[in-house]
Structure 1
Amino acid sequence: MQNKPQVLSVDWTHRHYVKDDEYIPFGEDIEAFLDREIAKPIIRWQDSPQLGYEILPNKYFYCYQPPKPADELRAEFWRLEKEAETLLEGLAQ
């Protein structure tokens, strides 16, 4: 029982301004870049007046439906084209 794993506490934070990728400008010192970019203050969610969660409707409520086959779309197009022609002929009279 003496070799128990040590339990660590973790404070999770989120940096809203951090991008998924970073590019170090050519010729710039890497250490200076990292000090400037990583040493920014961490925004804690407890300090933020905007508490909540963003729900993206496309992610949670959208169900993919494959498009109609091209033959059906073409037939629908020509049907609508003929319908439009008859309406225009009715207006011309």
Structure 2
Amino acid sequence: MHFYCFFITHKQILQAYSDYENDQIYGDPDGIYCESKIFETVEFGYNKIVVERPTRDADGNIILKKGKPVADAALRDTENVPLVEDIDTYFKREVLPYASDAWIDKKKTKIGYEIPMTRYFYKYQAPEAVEDIAARIYILEADISASLEKLFHEEA
């Protein structure tokens, strides 16, 4: 298991790390705080697959070389398939319904890892009400108008 934490102070880091507990908050969630989360390393891994599509001639026919379709580099794409998921199952579900002539160039598959902080740590905050924003804008406009009136009145 791996331990990740948004941290602000050394004390919070040390406390969270030594406790080694999942979904704990150290400090003030409305201020400076540390949130611990524990994940298996495999959750951050993926297979980057290369998805190929065939080249077609002017008549729309697939161009073959030695009996196999020639890949069109302009149509080449990649997909990140989670390590915990079977590549072929993912491909059938996520790619083939939209590109039935596609195939995977398995020689180009690479394993990668990333920690998508937003996915694991993002906390939704509802946007401010439109009425409140409009009221604030109205006050700002009135303040600007008053300042302009005062500025141009002083020059006259």
Shorter-chain TM-score tier = 0.3 to 0.5
Between 1 and 2, higher relative CO (CA 8 Å, sep ≥ 6) is seen in: 1
Structure with more of its chain in helix, by fraction: 1
How does the TM-score come out when normalised to structure 1?
Answer: 0.47
How does the TM-score come out when normalised to structure 2?
Answer: 0.32
Structure with more of its chain in strand, by fraction: 2
